[in-house]
Amino acid sequence: MDIGRIEALAVRASLAAPPARVDGVRAIAGLGLDGDVHADPLSPRQLLLAGTDAYDAFALPPHALRENLLVDLDTARLASGTVLQVGEQVLLRLMFQCEACGHLDVHRPGLSTRIGTRRGMLARVLRGGTILPGDRVRAAGPPLPAWSDDWRERIVHVLDALPPRSVITYKRLAQLAGVASSYCRAFPGIIARLGPFYAGRAVPTQLDIALPRWDGRELFEHAAADAATEREVCQ
C-alpha cells in the first residue's frame, strides 16, 4: 500500500557542507546513499527522511531539516522497524526518530524544542537501487525489530548484542547506537548504573586488553538478509 511519494532528494558531501539537491541518488545496501557523508555500514543513521508537513507547519526554508529524502507524509507517524520500499528496487529499514538539535534554531528561534518528533526518521538501506523524485513509498512486508528513540536504551541494546568474552570500544558503541562521539564521556557513568552484568563490556579505545574487540557488523547484517529474503518471497 502506498503511503507517500518522494518529493525531493539531497546529499551532503561532508559534515560542513550544506545539503545539495540532486535529481537522483544511488542507495547502496548496507552502506547508505552514494556520495553522502553519512554512508556508513556500522551506523543506524545512514539517511534521513523528513516530511513536507513539517516544512509547512514551521514555514521552513528548503533543506532546513537536512534530510536526504523529502516525503509527502508525516514522518512522526512512522514506526521503527518498518520496512519501506521506495520505487521498484530500494528497501529501507526505519530505525528511530531523529533528535532535534540546536542548529535548527538558526532557522527559527526555539525550533529545536517545538519540532519534537517531526524532525524526521532515520533509516538504513536494506536493498540498493536508484531513488528518483516521484518514486512511490510503500510499506513492504513484516516489520523488523524496533529501535528506541532514547539513545540510552540503544546503548543497552548494543551491549546486549555483544558476543561472549569480547568487548566494545566506547567509540564503536557510539557509532552503532547512532550518537555523536562526544557522548563517550557519559558512557562510564551510564554503564556503571546498569549494574555488574554490564561492567567491563565497553572500554576506552586506548585500553590495552586481551579480549577481542567487537566491530558490531552482525548487529545489522542479519536483519538486512532477512528482509531481502522476505521481500523476494512476497514478490
Indicate if 96 and 134 belong to the same structural domain.
yes
Indicate if 139 and 113 belong to the same structural domain.
yes
- pTM to 2 decimals? 0.90
What confidence tens digit (pLDDT) does each residue in 133-175 have? 999 999 998 999 999 999 999 999 999 999 999 999 999 999 9
**Range(s) of the domain holding residue 156:** 151-217
Indicate if 132 and 189 belong to the same structural domain.
no
pLDDT under 50: residue ranges of the chain: 229, 231, 233-235
Indicate if 64 and 106 belong to the same structural domain.
yes
- Domain tally for the chain? 2
Indicate if 117 and 193 belong to the same structural domain.
no
What CA–CA distances, in Å, run from 30 to 11, 14, 224? Answer: 17, 19, 8
Indicate if 46 and 131 belong to the same structural domain.
yes
